[in-house]
């Protein structure tokens, strides 16, 4: 086996539980990668640190999940190969996390919509029959609480701020809202895991989530979720828009150019 064969690509998961966990890991990895693009580009020093701190938390979560996946199914020789070298259609993150860093309003709204969902998604793992997964969720939830608090405060401030900041938040909502349905979709992958007891069905809390978000948006300069003709989905099945492609080009460059490289 050549070095490239060994260190590029990973086997596709075949077990329902690793398929589901890969989705969680990819969500964290891709949003972490997106946020890391802001390193050195924040509107001010403290916000730069905040975004990179959240990036670090998310990549930390992804690392634990990838490690756990490899103990359940032999998909790759190590987590770097699994995380970094798959072809685009094998990433199963939701579409929202790959959306670009258009401006600070987009970044904060994306974070708020994702983290509030992720809180429910991880709370549903606390009673999981997989105790390692439950422990990862327990640990991550403490950090997610910070992400929500931070992003929410900026959604409020920008929405309720100047004409300019409000118009940017309106634009962000128009762009991002259509990706929220996917996060709460009751697809076969999730429902199979609900049946085995790996996770509770967090999508049942969708109504409450929507009420909470609608409330915060109304506080944020009287914003409201836009009328969306249809929600855009497909990320969990590996059908992505061009944004993930741009992320992967950057993220995978080193691993694909120098297979098996180490720091």
Partner 1 sequence: MVNKEHLLDLMAEIMDPEIPAINIVELGIVRGIEDSTPPNIVITPTYVGCPATDMIGEMIREKLDAAGYDDVGIKNQLSPAWTTEWITEPAHEKLRVYGIDPPGAHTPTCPRCGSANTKLISEFGSTPCKAFHACKDCLEPFDRFKCH
Which residues are at the interface with partner 1 (CB under 8 A)? 46-47, 49-50, 53-61, 63-64, 131-132, 134-136, 138-140, 142-143, 146, 149-150
- Of the pair 257, 263, the CB lying nearest partner 1 is at 263
Of 192, 204, 171, 195, nearest in space to 236 by CA:
192
Shortest gap between Cβ of 178 and partner 1 (angstroms)? 29
- Of the pair 143, 219, the CB lying nearest partner 1 is at 143
- Of the pair 190, 198, the CB lying nearest partner 1 is at 198
The C-alpha atoms of residue 240 and residue 258 are separated, in whole angstroms, by 26
Rg of the chain on CA atoms, in Å: 18
Chain length of the chain = 263
Residues 6+ apart with CB under 8 A from 164: none
- Of the pair 52, 99, the CB lying nearest partner 1 is at 52
Shortest gap between Cβ of 153 and partner 1 (angstroms)? 8
Q: What are phi and psi of 103, to 5 degrees?
A: -155, 180
- Of the pair 132, 228, the CB lying nearest partner 1 is at 132
User: What is the three-class DSSP state of 75?
Assistant: coil
Shortest gap between Cβ of 5 and partner 1 (angstroms)? 28
Shortest gap between Cβ of 149 and partner 1 (angstroms)? 7
Shortest gap between Cβ of 85 and partner 1 (angstroms)? 21
Angle of the 242-257 helix axis to the 16-36 helix axis, nearest 10:
90
Burial of 42 (0-12, 13-18, 19+ CB in 10 A): middle
Determine the straight-line distance between the first and last CA of the chain, rounded to whole angstroms: 23
Of 93, 57, 65, 55, nearest in space to 179 by CA:
93
Tokens encoding 244? 């993930």
- Of the pair 8, 97, the CB lying nearest partner 1 is at 97
- Of the pair 63, 86, the CB lying nearest partner 1 is at 63
Shortest gap between Cβ of 150 and partner 1 (angstroms)? 5
Q: Report yes or no: 132 and 68 within 8 Å, Cβ to Cβ.
A: yes
The C-alpha atoms of residue 13 and residue 74 are separated, in whole angstroms, by 9
Shortest gap between Cβ of 156 and partner 1 (angstroms)? 14
């Amino acid at each position: 086996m050549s070095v490239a064969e060994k260190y590029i690509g990973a086997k596709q998961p075949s077990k329902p539980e690793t398929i589901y966990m890969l989705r969680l890991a990819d969500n964290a990895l891709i949003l972490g990668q997106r946020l890391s693009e802001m390193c050195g580009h924040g509107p001010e020093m403290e916000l730069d640190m905040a975004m990179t701190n959240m990036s670090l938390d998310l990549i930390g979560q992804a690392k634990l999940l990838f490690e756990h996946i490899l103990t359940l199914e032999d998909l790759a020789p190590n987590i770097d190969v699994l995380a970094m070298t798959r072809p685009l259609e094998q990433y199963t993150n939701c579409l929202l996390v790959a959306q670009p860093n258009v401006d600070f309003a987009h970044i904060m709204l994306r974070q708020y919509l994702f983290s509030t969902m992720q809180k429910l998604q991880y709370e549903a793992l606390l009673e999981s029959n997989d105790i390692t997964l439950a422990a990862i969720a327990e640990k991550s939830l403490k950090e997610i609480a910070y992400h929500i608090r931070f992003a929410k405060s900026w959604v409020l401030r920008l929405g309720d701020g100047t004409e300019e900041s409000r118009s940017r938040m309106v634009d962000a909502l128009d762009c991002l809202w259509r990706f929220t349905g996917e996060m709460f979709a009751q697809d076969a992958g999730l429902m199979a895991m609900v049946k085995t007891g790996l996770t509770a069905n967090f999508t049942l809390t969708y109504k409450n989530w929507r009420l909470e978000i609608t409330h915060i948006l109304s506080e944020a300069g009287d914003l409201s979720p836009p009328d969306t003709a249809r929600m855009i989905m497909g990320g969990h099945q590996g059908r992505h828009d061009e944004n993930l492609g741009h992320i992967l080009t950057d993220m995978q460059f080193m691993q694909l150019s120098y297979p098996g490289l180490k720091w």
